[in-house]
């Protein structure tokens, strides 16, 4: 499981592959916190290669969104598959995030 | 047809547990969304066992049985930890604003939502969770 961060002019893109579960979610939280602690509050999470997201993963994204909004930033999601989107909707977290199908649109939203 | 497997009660077991139930769900003839529902419910259940029933990693094992039936798949998960009653966990308030959200409860809520039946038994021999996903 690898997490990469790429800096753009107006935002940073975090990409992770595989599962976000109780085992791996802390590593994603760490990567998100690192950006926020460095003063980067506009974040795109590229989920193209995320094939599973448990409630722990949902919570990492929700916590990160709270932190970015405190600094007038935001976390947006891109390439989120339909199954994972279903989980967001079931727990009522879908409205917390802008979800894009296209990376250019996601990066361009800042 | 029934398949059984034991896993160490550690978070790194979650991926192997997921693969085990995914294969059974595929063999039971569930569709892609139903298979994901089974993976999600089992992952949430096993995370709760490690976190709440055993209270830490490496304390005990998780026994997982997959029963392939004509109308779907039944999963039976057993542990020997402290009885943890998810029925006592209140439902998630799905209309809550982001700032008011607090952690916890979403896993149990998701299990109830995505499975057709969820039943808990606390026996002298341990905790038994039975979940059913119909085709």
Chain-chain contact of B12 with A23 (C-beta, under 8 angstroms) = yes
Output the average pLDDT for chain B: 95
Mean pLDDT of chain A: 97
Please check whether residue B130 touches A, CB under 8 A.
no
Which parts of chain A sit beneath pLDDT 70? Answer: 1
| pLDDT on residue B105 | 83
Residues 59-88 of A with CB under 8 A from B: 59, 62-63, 65-66, 69, 82-83, 86-87
Query: Does B123 contact A at CB distance below 8 Å?
Result: no
Amino acid B104: pLDDT: 79
Does B57 lie at the interface with A, CB-CB under 8 angstroms?
Answer: no
Query: For the whole model, what pTM was predicted?
Result: 0.95
Residue B102: the pLDDT is: 84
* pLDDT confidence of residue A58: 96
Each residue of A32-43: pLDDT tens digit?
999 999 999 999
- DSSP 3-state of B4: strand
Residues of A in contact with B99 (CB under 8 A): 66, 69
Q: Look at residue B91 in the predicted model and tell me its pLDDT.
A: 87
**Cβ A68 vs Cβ A75: under 8 Å:** yes
Chain B closest CA to A92's CA: distance in Å?
4
- For the stretch B70-92, pLDDT in tens is 999 999 999 999 998 877 888 88
| Residue segments in chain B with a per-residue pLDDT below the cut of 50 | none
| DSSP letter string, B66-120 | EEEETTEEEEEEEE-S----GGGSPPP-TT--GGG--SSSHHHHHHHHHSSEEEE
Question: Within an 8 Å CB–CB cutoff, is residue A52 touching chain B?
Answer: yes
């Amino acid at each position: 499981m690898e997490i990469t961060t790429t800096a753009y002019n107006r935002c940073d893109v975090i990409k992770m592959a595989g599962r976000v579960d109780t085992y791996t979610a802390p590593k994603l939280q760490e990567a998100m916190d690192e950006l926020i602690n460095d003063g980067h509050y506009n974040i795109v999470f590229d989920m193209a290669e995320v094939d599973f997201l448990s409630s722990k993963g949902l919570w990492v994204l929700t916590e990160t969104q709270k932190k970015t909004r405190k600094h007038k930033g935001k976390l947006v999601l891109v390439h989120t598959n339909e199954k994972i989107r279903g989980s967001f909707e079931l727990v009522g977290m879908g409205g917390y995030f802008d979800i894009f199908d296209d990376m250019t649109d996601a990066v361009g939203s800042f | 047809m029934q398949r059984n497997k034991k896993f160490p009660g550690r978070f790194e077991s979650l991926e192997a547990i997921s693969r085990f139930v995914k294969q059974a769900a595929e063999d039971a003839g569930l569709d892609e969304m139903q298979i994901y529902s089974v993976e999600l419910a089992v992952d949430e259940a096993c995370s709760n066992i490690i976190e709440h029933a055993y209270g830490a990693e490496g304390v005990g094992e998780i026994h997982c049985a997959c029963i392939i039936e004509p109308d779907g798949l039944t999963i039976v998960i057993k542990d020997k930890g402290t009885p943890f009653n998810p029925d006592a966990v209140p439902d998630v308030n799905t209309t809550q604003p982001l700032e008011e959200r607090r952690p916890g409860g979403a896993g149990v809520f998701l299990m109830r939502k995505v499975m057709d039946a969820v039943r808990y038994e606390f026996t002298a021999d341990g905790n038994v969770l039975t979940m059913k996903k119909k085709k």
